[in-house]
């Protein structure tokens, strides 16, 4: 009998763990799977810890449920019955005061004239500029969201609607972000008028019965990681924490992986770590691929969770939170009124759980110490909400280089990278936020494909 094949997965975020699960579940032959994780814990950007007596996420708090991958994974892991969705509280945009986010938008792109015609967010001149969008000639030759939307609707629609909505999801400055990386918006560029395309897309979305937009386990997204870890281990996978990959060398048809603790042999590798660290260990295999990976930029953010005593929270603030457009930002880019957004985030004493985001691509905040960050957040919120708040509990989560920035033409660079590495080092595949989509569902989808590609490579080694 032949020895089991060896698969090594680098990184134990949701992409790495799901890749391991896919290989272990779908392999028709014995296979050893080892997941190597540099940090002392698994989960990567997904982390749920206790705060104000509740399980509150420090990073992502939900995933998009209108695409199947994460929802299916949660169901496969047995989380179906304990999933929940946000309340129907609405978010606002702060621009010299709070404004409701208009209906009739597709990720900030107007789907009807009334989306901006009746909003106090846009000036009369800005409304006139936006209204001529259907009359303009087609916009071509740009993959920059900012450049495209500004050319269609003018600066105000971009800066006060589209950029806040997209920027808050990707911690980005959407003037420098790839349109193709946001498929819902990219789909609106197929016809000449973005307004009409958004109108048609919204009408189609309203017609088809759709469940909730977002979903999450009531125990927090950490539950997804916990169950993934258990499942991978139960299937015989080995998850090693505190072991960082530093170099990969090719040996015959396989690879030697040198780590901070020793070395491993692999017939196939899934790289589920972010682009920057990956560029270092890929270099001995392919310097062009390493150079490309090294060019990826990543934005850092800080997420401050606060419990505000019930007596301090104004009853008028019933929404789910607000976004701050880039030209209006000092440090805070968004604040989520967590206890309004999530029914399971309501402490017994009636406190409000807030999650306040500071920083994005082009707005550095990590150099501040925690006290300074907390003061900046409270000062910004005083400006935005008109209230002085003294939190009864505070937690600062620093997310260094946590949001990959897909610059315009990202996917062309990725194709070049994969082509180059595919020739130099067959059997090495990428999965995760740095590559084909940033949100949790996209990471799961990539992990499924990476797992399948790994099995196909192992099968080809036999022939």
Ligand X SMILES: Cc1cc2nc3c(=O)[nH]c(=O)nc-3n(C[C@H](O)[C@H](O)[C@H](O)COP(=O)(O)OP(=O)(O)OC[C@H]3O[C@@H](n4cnc5c(N)ncnc54)[C@H](O)[C@@H]3O)c2cc1C
Provide DSSP, 315-331: TT--SSEEE--GGG-SS
Choose among 219, 207, 187: nearest CA to 79: 219
Nearer to ligand X, 63 or 345 (CB): 63
CA atoms within 13 A on the CB side of 161: 30
Least distance from C-beta 344 to ligand X, angstroms? 16
Q: How far is CA 123 from CA 101, 102, 247, 433, in A?
A: 15, 15, 55, 37
Nearer to ligand X, 244 or 449 (CB): 244
Nearer to ligand X, 109 or 438 (CB): 438
Q: How far apart, in whole angstroms, are the C-alpha atoms of residue 300 and residue 305?
A: 17
Least distance from C-beta 446 to ligand X, angstroms? 8
Q: How far apart, in whole angstroms, are the C-alpha atoms of residue 60 and residue 444?
A: 14
Which residues are near ligand X by CB under 6 A?
Answer: 10-16, 36-39, 44-46, 59-63, 244-245, 272-274, 277, 281, 301, 303, 399, 402, 432-433, 438-440, 443
Nearer to ligand X, 200 or 219 (CB): 219
**Vertex 452 angle, CA 461 and 247, to 5°:** 65
Nearer to ligand X, 63 or 177 (CB): 63
Least distance from C-beta 413 to ligand X, angstroms? 18
209 burial (CB, 10 Å; 0-12 / 13-18 / 19+) is exposed
Choose among 288, 267, 310: nearest CA to 454: 267
Least distance from C-beta 458 to ligand X, angstroms? 22
Nearer to ligand X, 10 or 197 (CB): 10
Least distance from C-beta 401 to ligand X, angstroms? 9
Q: Which residues pair with residue 397 across a beta bridge?
A: 303
Least distance from C-beta 141 to ligand X, angstroms? 29
Nearer to ligand X, 290 or 301 (CB): 301
Least distance from C-beta 102 to ligand X, angstroms? 22
Residue showing the smallest CB distance to ligand X in the complex: 44
Q: How far apart, in whole angstroms, are the C-alpha atoms of residue 334 and residue 329?
A: 9
Tokens for 306?
């606060």
Helix axes 145-153, 163-170, angle to 10 degrees: 170
Choose among 304, 303, 329, 302: nearest CA to 389: 304
**Sheet strands side by side (includes 263-266):** 245-251, 254-259, 263-266
CA atoms within 13 A on the CB side of 330: 13
Nearer to ligand X, 151 or 336 (CB): 336
Least distance from C-beta 232 to ligand X, angstroms? 13
CB atoms within 10 A of CB 402: 18
Nearer to ligand X, 71 or 189 (CB): 71
Nearer to ligand X, 16 or 347 (CB): 16
Nearer to ligand X, 157 or 292 (CB): 292
Least distance from C-beta 379 to ligand X, angstroms? 21
Least distance from C-beta 459 to ligand X, angstroms? 25
Nearer to ligand X, 48 or 151 (CB): 48
Least distance from C-beta 114 to ligand X, angstroms? 29
Say if residues 83 and 217 touch (Cβ distance below 8 Å): yes
Residue 375: φ, ψ to 5°: -65, -40
Least distance from C-beta 281 to ligand X, angstroms? 6
Q: How far apart, in whole angstroms, are the C-alpha atoms of residue 298 and residue 311?
A: 39
What single DSSP character describes residue 242? Answer: S
Q: How far apart, in whole angstroms, are the C-alpha atoms of residue 54 and residue 76?
A: 25
Q: How far apart, in whole angstroms, are the C-alpha atoms of residue 55 and residue 223?
A: 10
């Amino acid at each position: 009998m032949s020895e089991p094949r060896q698969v090594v997965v680098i990184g134990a975020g949701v992409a790495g763990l799901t890749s391991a699960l896919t290989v272990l579940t779908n392999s028709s032959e014995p296979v050893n799977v080892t997941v190597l994780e540099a940090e002392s814990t698994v989960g990567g950007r997904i982390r749920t810890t206790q705060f104000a007596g509740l399980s509150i996420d420090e990073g992502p708090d939900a995933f998009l449920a209108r695409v199947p991958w994460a929802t299916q994974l949660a169901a496969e892991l047995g989380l179906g019955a304990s999933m929940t969705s946000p309340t129907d509280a609405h978010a606002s945009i702060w621009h010299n005061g709070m404004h409701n986010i208009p209906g009739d938008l597709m990720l900030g792109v107007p789907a009807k004239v009334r989306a901006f015609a009746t909003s106090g967010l846009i000036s009369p001149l800005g409304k006139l500029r936006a209204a001529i969008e259907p009359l303009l000639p087609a916009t071509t030759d740009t993959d920059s969201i900012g450049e495209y939307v500004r050319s269609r609707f003018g600066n105000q629609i971009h800066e006060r609607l589209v950029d806040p909505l997209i920027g808050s999801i990707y911690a980005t400055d959407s003037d420098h972000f790839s349109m193709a990386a946001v498929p819902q918006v990219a789909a609106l560029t197929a016809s000449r008028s973005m307004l009409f395309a958004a109108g048609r897309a919204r009408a189609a979305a309203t017609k088809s019965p759709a469940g909730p937009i977002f979903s999450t386990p009531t125990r927090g997204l950490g539950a997804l990681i916990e169950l993934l870890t258990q499942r991978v281990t139960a299937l015989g996978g080995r998850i090693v924490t505190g072991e960082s990959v530093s170099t990969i060398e090719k040996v015959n048809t396989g690879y030697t992986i040198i780590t901070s603790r020793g070395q491993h042999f692999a017939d196939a590798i899934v790289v589920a770590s972010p682009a920057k660290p990956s560029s270092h260990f890929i270099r001995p295999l392919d310097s062009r691929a390493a150079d490309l990976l090294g060019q990826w930029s990543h934005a850092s953010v800080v997420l401050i969770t606060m419990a505000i005593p019930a007596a301090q929270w104004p009853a008028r603030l019933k929404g789910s939170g607000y976004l701050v457009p880039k030209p209006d930002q000092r440090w805070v880019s968004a604040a989520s009124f967590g206890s309004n957004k999530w029914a399971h985030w309501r402490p017994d004493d009636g406190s409000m759980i807030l999650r306040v985001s500071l920083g994005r691509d082009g707005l550095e905040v990590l150099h501040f110490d925690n006290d300074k960050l907390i003061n900046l957040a409270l000062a910004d919120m005083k400006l935005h909400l008109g209230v002085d708040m003294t939190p009864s509990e505070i937690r600062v989560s620093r997310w260094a280089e946590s949001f990959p920035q897909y610059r315009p033409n990202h996917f062309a660079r990725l194709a070049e990278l994969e082509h180059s590495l595919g020739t130099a080092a067959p059997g090495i595949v990428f999965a995760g936020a740095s590559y084909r989509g940033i949100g949790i569902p996209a990471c799961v989808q990539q992990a499924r494909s990476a797992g399948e590609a790994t099995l196909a490579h192992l099968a080809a080694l036999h022939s």
